[in-house]
Amino acid sequence: MMELLPPDSDALVPRVVVRNARRARQVATELQCFAGTRERRQACLALLATLDHLRGALRRAFLWGPDLRAWLSAAEEALSLAKAADEGELFDVLAGGPHLAAVLPRGRMDAASLRRARTLGNRLLRDVFHRLPTVLFFLTPPGKKFGPFTLHLKADAEEARIAGELHVAFPSPYTWKLDGPARVELCGDEVRVPAGKARPCYRPRERVPFSGIIVARRALAGRRGLRPGSAVRGLSQRLGEALDLLRQAWPDAWREILIHTRVLVPVEESGVVSYSLPERPGTSYINVQGKRVVDLADDLLHETAHHRLHSLEELAPLARQGADAHYYSPWRRQVRPLHGILHATYTFTFRAQFFQCLLNLPGRLPRAWLRREVLRERGMLLQSLCYLRDAEDRRLLTAAGSRLFSEVAYQVGRLGKG
């Protein structure tokens, strides 16, 4: 059986949980400087009270869950823009992010750059404050009341929500459906809607059988980007078959998927296979059209590998700050930055290992095809490892990056021998 590449999730998850508790307290403290209304102040107090109240498995689920982690990323980004004090700090915030063009429309700093950044940051903070109460649904301390809060339920393609929907994680995943804006109060394990107002409809979220992985609506590509669409009929059953294939072929990898992948969003976009976003940990976006069970299993594992690496990078960067090196990617057949090469090498090692494990399952897939895929991936991995060796020689990798490179090189060397 193939060995899993690091990080060791049994050690990684508790460390991320501890870090997220610190992040959440820091963000709540910084948000209070921008809490100019009672509703915003109540949201900050609710977050701090929840952090003090939660214990055990529920605390871990909250701090590891995709909802809080995505909210924290959005809040930190908004605060960094709103608080930018000088051009150097602003450039660090913008580098590699999605707001570079909005803040620097001419591609360079000018007298209005800081003003544009702060304006954008304050606009993003409005959404951060609006989203916070929904992250805390049914988690606030008993005997205390927070709010009322106005819920703004506009459509969101990244969360696969249509207008009027709200995804809730606790006590179990389900969707609220409301006809329009609503005001609610958070009261421990209860969310109160004012008397006389329409009560929300509840619908459990679809999940992959025998797992906690949520299957969301599809996200459809259009001229203005992604938009939420309908559910993909029969997808959860197909994903269940894919997970079962992984469980039989490589039980350790199957367990990792259950730990790191929390939501799957089917994507219909030309040229897209699958992807994940560092700012949305645990959410995998996969093009499921025309996919066989083995393809779905491959995509699930590939994005899980990205999630593992994103979590590791939250604790320790892999490349040194300012490492500006680009190398040829044999998978994309184009030049990519060092960070992209690191992620590709790591994730495609999982693919090669999975296919080698499939060779041990008799009668499931054509063995000649599996062997060709393993050898093809091994060839591209050896090529990318040469580039990572060059990056290490140039001292572009951190200690964590070098350790990871060594482990990947060892596992790649074992491919095709079992």
134 with 271, same domain?
A: no
**Of 131, 146, 161, which residue sits at a domain end?**
146
A 10 A CB-CB count for 13 gives 17
135 with 222, same domain?
A: no
- Average per-residue pLDDT for the chain: 91
End-to-end CA distance of the chain: 9
235 with 136, same domain?
A: no
**pLDDT tens-digit profile of 349-374?**
999 999 999 998 887 789 999 999 99
Q: Does residue 233 carry a pLDDT above 90?
A: yes
77 with 222, same domain?
A: no
246 with 391, same domain?
A: yes
Q: Is residue 194 reached through a cis peptide bond, with omega within 30 degrees of 0 on the bond before it?
A: no
**Alpha-carbon gap, residue 274 to 265, rounded angstroms:** 10
The pair of three-digit structure tokens given for residue 379, joined into one six-digit string = 């060839």
20 with 138, same domain?
A: yes
**pLDDT tens-digit profile of 234-261?**
999 999 999 999 999 999 999 999 999 9
**Of 146, 176, 205, which residue sits at a domain end?**
146
User: pLDDT value at position 335?
Assistant: 96
User: pLDDT value at position 381?
Assistant: 98
Q: Is residue 241 part of a domain?
A: yes
Q: Are 274 and 284 in contact (CB under 8 A)?
A: yes
Query: What values do phi and psi take at 192, rounded to 5?
Result: -95, 130
Find the mean pLDDT for residues 391-398.
96
Q: Is residue 120 part of a domain?
A: yes
Total tally of structural domains belonging to the chain: 2
**pLDDT tens-digit profile of 53-96?**
999 999 999 999 999 999 999 999 999 888 876 666 666 666 65
The pair of three-digit structure tokens given for residue 386, joined into one six-digit string = 């040469």
Q: Is residue 271 part of a domain?
A: yes
CA distances (Å), origin 310, targets 1, 144, 315: 25, 36, 9
b/e burial code for range 184-201 (CB count within 10 A of at least 16 → b) = bbbbeeebebeeeeeebe
Q: Does residue 1 carry a pLDDT above 90?
A: no
**pLDDT tens-digit profile of 3-24?**
899 999 999 999 999 999 999 9
User: pLDDT value at position 92?
Assistant: 66
DSSP states along 342-406: HHHHHHHHHHHHHHHHHTTSTTSS-HHHHHHHHHHHHHHHHHHHHHHHHHHHTT-B-HHHHHHHH
User: pLDDT value at position 198?
Assistant: 65
236 with 364, same domain?
A: yes
Helices 338-358 and 235-249 sit at what angle, rounded to 10 degrees?
80
User: pLDDT value at position 13?
Assistant: 97
User: pLDDT value at position 116?
Assistant: 82
**Alpha-carbon gap, residue 211 to 314, rounded angstroms:** 26
Domain assignment of residue 31, given as a range: 9-146
Q: Is residue 172 part of a domain?
A: no
240 with 351, same domain?
A: yes
How far is C-alpha 47 from the chain's CA centre?
21
**Alpha-carbon gap, residue 115 to 281, rounded angstroms:** 31
Q: Is residue 183 part of a domain?
A: no
Q: What's the full length of the chain, in residues? A: 418
pTM for this entry: 0.94
**pLDDT tens-digit profile of 185-212?**
999 989 988 766 667 788 999 999 999 9
Find the mean pLDDT for residues 141-165.
91
User: pLDDT value at position 178?
Assistant: 82
Q: Is residue 278 reached through a cis peptide bond, with omega within 30 degrees of 0 on the bond before it?
A: no
